[in-house]
Amino acid sequence: MSLGINEIKTILSEHNLLIKIVPNKNEQFDDVTYDSRNVHNNALFFCKGNFKPEYLTMAKAAGASGYVSEKKYAEGSNLTQIIVKDVQKAMSLIGAAFYRYPENDLFTIAYTGTKGKTTSSYFARSILDNTTNNKTGLLSTIDTIVGNNPDQKFKSHLTTPESLDIFKYMRMAVDNGMTHMVMEVSSQAYKKNRVYGLKYNIGLFLNISPDHIGPNEHPTFADYLHCKEQLLVNSDICIINADTDHFEDIYMAAKATTQPENIYLFSDHDQSLIDNRHPDFIFDSISDTISDNKIKLVSNNKKAKAMKLDGEYKIAVAGDYNESNATSAIIATGLSGASSDDVSNGLSTVFVPGRMESYDAKSHGNVYVDYAHNYASMHALLSFLKHGNPDGKVIVVVGSPGNKGEDRRKGFGIALTENADEAFLTTDDPAFEDPATIVDEIDSYINHDKVNVHIELDRRLAISKAIHSGDENSIIVVAGKGRDPYQKINGVDTPYETDSVVVKNVLKGIENE
Ligand SMILES: CC(=O)N[C@H]1[C@@H](OP(=O)(O)OP(=O)(O)OC[C@H]2O[C@@H](n3ccc(=O)[nH]c3=O)[C@H](O)[C@@H]2O)O[C@H](CO)[C@@H](O)[C@@H]1O[C@H](C)C(=O)N[C@@H](C)C(=O)N[C@H](CCC(=O)O)C(=O)O
Ligand SMILES: Nc1ncnc2c1ncn2[C@@H]1O[C@H](COP(=O)(O)OP(=O)(O)OP(=O)(O)O)[C@@H](O)[C@H]1O
């Protein structure tokens, strides 16, 4: 693959991003990259983010023949110089062109929302695997899947990758025969222009609640909401959960670029909405116990009825909040060609790594490994489990990350007070903070008359102690990390075998006792 300087010039000029191009000897680039540790000969190097000029020196030494940046660097002398107004936007547009617009050869379903993106993406992919005969790729927080061979599935680094990686993965997916792509789009992806210029066939908005607000992410809630809404502005068809907070604002964002007939709304009840609309689909919970999750989907108008999706569906993953996640996936996949049989098969067999993974701890109760890591998800999870198990204790292992989402600490304190009986406060990605201080902060928001609190900073030990403290009626929740294979400590991803593996090891130990 290669890209010529003239094409780059046209693209950047069309988008009013070009300040100047000073071509050098090479007018054709054979690779694009933003990382000096990954430069091939004749590459175009992007200077972005917390860039340091020495990276350009490294890139040049490794064979880069041009660079894109917002200013000129002496370190880039003798290289083709492309100076732009916004390097992240330029990188996304040039990335799409370099990889020959792979998004045009994929039917794309893109999810945003504060909670449920990963789960719903797995639901949608599981359904579409039936429809497409396993030709559906995935860009998710957990896994990136660009083909069916084992080496075409790998762990993700970000929820939404850098633009160059998105287009590279999409190209790989197309070349590997994939026809559909389900992806998560974070608000950060819009904030950082990782998806600038990318259009989706279907965009879904699940919900929004305060999260990711802080000096390193979004300055305000309004900024967070605005970034998330951009997904709808860039989608041909929009699907919106009518029960979300800020629904009217979100609907208006969708309507700015999409005709109302291409906007699908769903809810757990009929209601009169903006523009005299009612939800197109309504889902009823038939069963939402810990062991059985089932919904009935009902179309509420002719447009929805024509999709022939009405029916009862079993969902393999527990949690009443997963009913709305499942509904979103049914509508999105139905619009992509899935039949109700595909939906039935997909939802009844789906497995989502690190989300509501259930383990039988015999005389110590039942263990759930789950990714709940803010107030909204912890509240949804614990209230579901407490109501489903009113006679047993709810025991929770939880920590909170350092240097981000500081408001989560208060959220956990409140959620634990509302529905937990015991809490084991522990370490979760402390970054550059002292985990003991983080844990003390969570503790300060817990009402000790309601919750019995233990502090154990060694996460493995905290999990073991929590499981051992349970009796046969207990539910033990290991929250926040799911299948994350690391603890982020002092800027280093320190290997960690994952909560799922730690739980399995503790259970093995119990069997052998
Ligand atoms: C705020 C943000 O978007 N940060 C991301 C961004 O950082 P950055 O551009 O400043 O990169 P950097 O690592 O500081 O380095 C600067 C540049 O120098 C390059 N470099 C660096 C070292 C070197 O030796 N040579 C070199 O060329 C880097 O490749 C990079 O291009 O680009 C990096 C990859 O190029 C990302 O790893 C990094 O994500 C950080 C780690 C992160 O955790 N971001 C979070 C906030 C995030 O984006 N989360 C959302 C999910 C949130 C949600 O759930 O809603 C996500 O989509 O994942
Ligand atoms: N629709 C929902 N509403 C509230 N909580 C939810 C919902 N769906 C999932 N959860 C809870 O949130 C946790 C994270 O879910 P999931 O990973 O699907 O969301 P996400 O949007 O990808 O999250 P993140 O952006 O934090 O990675 C789950 O483990 C569950 O506890």
Closest atom of ligand 1 to CA, residue 187: 55
- pLDDT band at 6; cut points 50, 70, 90: very high
Using a 6 Å cutoff on CB, does residue 244 contact ligand 2? no
Name the residue at shortest CA distance from atom 8 of ligand 2: 116
CA distance 116 to 121: 8
CB 11 within 8 A of CB 101: no
CA distance 13 to 20: 10
Q: What's the average model confidence in pLDDT over 272-277?
A: 96
CB 338 within 8 A of CB 131: yes
Q: What is the pLDDT of residue 211?
A: 79
Q: Identify the helix (H) or strand (E) that includes residue 298.
A: strand 293-299
Percentage with pLDDT > 90 across the chain? 93
- Tokens encoding 13: 């000029």
Write the pLDDT tens digit of every residue in 221-271.
999 999 999 999 999 999 999 999 999 999 999 999 999 999 999 999 999
* 357-512 matches 102-349 in CATH topology: no
**What pairs with residue 205 in β-bridges?**
112, 240
Q: Where are the domains of the chain?
A: 3-98, 102-349, 357-512
Q: Which of 422, 455, 354 is nearest to 142 (CA)?
A: 354
pLDDT above 80 for 490: yes
CB 420 within 8 A of CB 502: no
Q: Identify the helix (H) or strand (E) that includes residue 205.
A: strand 200-205
Class of domain 3-98: alpha beta
pTM, to two decimals: 0.94
Crossing angle for the helix pair 117-132 and 321-335, nearest 10 degrees? 40
Q: Report the amino acid identity of residue 353.
A: P
Q: Which ligand is nearest to the CA of 431?
A: 1
Write the pLDDT tens digit of every residue in 287-311.
998 889 999 999 999 999 999 999 9
CA distances in angstroms from 63 to 30, 41, 56, 483, listed in the order given: 11, 4, 11, 38
Using a 6 Å cutoff on CB, does residue 113 contact ligand 2? yes
Tell me which fold the domain 102-349 belongs to. Answer: UDP-N-acetylmuramoyl-L-alanine:D-glutamate ligase (3.40.1190)
pLDDT above 70 for 414: yes
CA distance 86 to 17: 7
Averaged pLDDT of the chain: 96
Percentage with pLDDT > 70 across the chain? 100
Q: Identify the helix (H) or strand (E) that includes residue 108.
A: strand 107-112
Q: What is the pLDDT of residue 26?
A: 62
Q: Which ligand is nearest to the CA of 57?
A: 1
DSSP state of 289: S
Q: What's the average model confidence in pLDDT over 357-363?
A: 94
Cα of 187 to ligand 2 centre, how many Å?
A: 15
Cα of 190 to ligand 1 centre, how many Å?
A: 13
pLDDT above 70 for 108: yes
- pLDDT band at 501; cut points 50, 70, 90: very high
CA distance 350 to 292: 14
CA distance 162 to 405: 21
Instruction: Please give the CATH superfamily to which domain 357-512 belongs.
Output: Mur ligase, C-terminal domain (3.90.190.20)
